[in-house]
Structure 1
Amino acid sequence: MLRLMASLSCLLLVGLNAQAQAVLDPALVERVRQLAETAARATAPPGTRVVVETGQLDARLRLAPCRQVQPYLPAGVAAWGRSRIGLRCTDGTARWNVTLPVRVAVYGRAVVAGAALPAGVALTQEYLALADIDIAAEPGAVFSDPAQLLGRTLARPLAAAEAVRAPALKARQWFAAGETVKVLALGPGFAVASEAQALSAGIEGQDVRVRFESGRVASGRAVGERQVELPL
C-alpha cells in the first residue's frame, strides 16, 4: 500500500505521464501561470492587467517519473507575448529539462489608429483614439497619450483600431549636419554640457559624430532638438 501511495504521489508531483500525450497536473500549471504573471508584472506599466494562457507539452515527449518539477523562466526569454516557461526535474529517476509554451497578454489603455491610415501620413488628433488593447501582442512600445504622436509620420500603414507602436513611426531628424548642438556628457553621478558642431544629420536614436571647438571629434546619440548625449 505504501509503495502504491508513493507511486501516486510521484505522478501528482510531476504532473506528467509517460504516455504519448504529456499531461500537466493542474497544480503545476498554476505554478507556471503564477511565475509567468509575476515576471510580466515586473515590467508591465501601472494599471495594466496580465492574463496568462498555458499551452501543452509536445505529445511525443517520453519523460521519466519525477517527484519534484521546478518551473523557471529561461534566460533571455521574453516575459510578454508568446514565450516559454522551463520545467526541470530536480528529483527523479532521470533529470530532464523541457519548456512549456505560454502566451502572456498585458491589457492596458493605449493610442490606436482611429481609422485605416496609409504610410506617410502625418498624425493629427483626428486620426488617433484611445482603446484597451493587449500591448504585449506585438513588439514595440505603445503610447498612452495622443499628444506624444502629433506631427509624427507613419512609416507603414495601420489598420483601424491597430495600436500605434514605435516601429510604425518614421525616425525624426533632430538637426542637420553643420548645426551647432548641445552635447550632454554623462558619467557616473555627473553630467557636463557643452556645444559642438554636428558632422552629420541627427536622426532620432542614431549615433552621430560631433566636433568640439578644440577640434576633438566624438560620437554620441541624437536624443532631441539639437541635443546629443555622450556617455563617458
Structure 2
Amino acid sequence: MTAAMQDHEIVRKLAADFLYHQAKAQTGETTITMGQVDKRLNLAACQSPVAFLPSGSKAWGKITVGVRCTAPVNWVIYLQANVQITSEYYVASRTLSQGQLVVPDDMSKIKGDISNLPAGIVTNPEQVLGKSLQSSVSSGTPLRVDLFRSPAVVQQGQSVRVVSNGPGFQVATDAQALNNAAEGQVAKARTSNGQTISGIAKAGGIIEITY
C-alpha cells in the first residue's frame, strides 16, 4: 500500500499563518509572499506539522521559515518568504546635531516598508520628544530609539538632595553630585562629611535611596 503524501499547499499555508502571527508584534500592514515547496519533494503525510524560525532569525524581510514533522515520520523543510510590513514611522526633518533636544518640528512622519529597517524605529514621537541625540543625523534619516538619551536630572557638580527612605523613616541631606544621571539611573554624590553614596536620580535634583 502506498503511503499517504503530505499536501504541499498545507505546508505553505501553515508557514504563512505562522509568519502572520509573528508579524503581529509589529505595527502596520503585513504582506507575506511565500515561496513554493519543491514539487520534486515527496514528504510523508504529517499528523501535526509545526512551523518555526531558524535560531537568530527575525520574522520580517527576506527570510527562511522552517516546517518540521515528528510523527509518524521525521522531516524538516525550509521555505523562502518575504514579509513586508508597511507602517508609519519618523525621520529627521532636517540635519540634527549631537546633544540637540528633539522637538516635534525636528521629525517628519512617513509611511513605508519598515521590514528592512533597523530595530527600534520610532513609530510614536512620544518615544523621543525631549530627549537628546547621542550623535548627529542627516535629514531624512530614519530615527531609532537607541539614538537618543534622556536629559540629565542630576548633573555632575550640582548640589542635590539625598533622600533616604526605609520602614518608618525618611532622612534628607544635602550633597554634591559626582556624575550625570537621567531619571531612573544610578547617581553618585558626596555628602558634607565626605561619604560617597549611590541612589536613583529623580527630577528636581533628588537622589533617592530606599532601604
1:150-194 residue CA offsets vs partner (Å, 9 max, x unmatched): 57336142352x321112335643321354268799xxxxxxx98
What is the match of residue 43 of structure 2? 65
What is the match of residue 35 of structure 1? 18
Give the aligned residue type for 2:90. Answer: V
What is the match of residue 10 of structure 1? 5
Asked if the contact 1:66/1:89 (under 8 Å) is kept, the reply is no
- Relative distance call for 1:97 and 1:209 in structure 2 (3 A) is farther
Counterparts of 1:77 and 1:150, CA distance in 2 = 34
Deviation at 1:202, TM superposition (A): 0.7
- Relative distance call for 1:207 and 1:146 in structure 2 (3 A) is closer
Counterparts of 2:129 and 2:118, CA distance in 1 = 19
- Relative distance call for 1:87 and 1:125 in structure 2 (3 A) is same
- Relative distance call for 1:34 and 1:207 in structure 2 (3 A) is farther
Find the partner of 2:107 among 128, 140, 159: 128
* Structure with greater proportional helix content: 1
Asked if the contact 2:60/2:83 (under 8 Å) is kept, the reply is yes
Asked if the contact 2:186/2:198 (under 8 Å) is kept, the reply is no
Give the aligned residue type for 1:130. Answer: K
What is the match of residue 140 of structure 1? 120
Asked if the contact 1:183/1:230 (under 8 Å) is kept, the reply is yes
Comparing 25-34 with 74-83, greater Cα deviation is found at 74-83
TM-score (norm 2): 0.63
Give the aligned residue type for 2:10. Answer: A
Q: RMSD over aligned Cα, in angstroms?
A: 4.6
Alignment of 1:19-30 (within 5 A): 25-30=8-13
Identity %: 19
Q: Given the alignment of the two structures, is residue 153 of structure 1 paired with residue 136 of structure 2, yes or no?
A: no
TM-score (norm 1): 0.58
Q: Given the alignment of the two structures, is residue 106 of structure 1 paired with residue 106 of structure 2, yes or no?
A: no
Q: Which secondary structure state, in structure 1, belongs to the residue aligned with residue 5 of structure 2?
A: helix
- Relative distance call for 1:96 and 1:157 in structure 2 (3 A) is same
Give the aligned residue type for 2:45. Answer: R
1:79-113 residue CA offsets vs partner (Å, 9 max, x unmatched): 455655332121354x2445545444433222222
Counterparts of 1:230 and 1:53, CA distance in 2 = 54
Deviation at 1:142, TM superposition (A): 0.8
- Relative distance call for 1:100 and 1:159 in structure 2 (3 A) is farther
Counterparts of 2:123 and 2:179, CA distance in 1 = 29
Deviation at 1:71, TM superposition (A): 0.9
Counterparts of 1:202 and 1:130, CA distance in 2 = 31
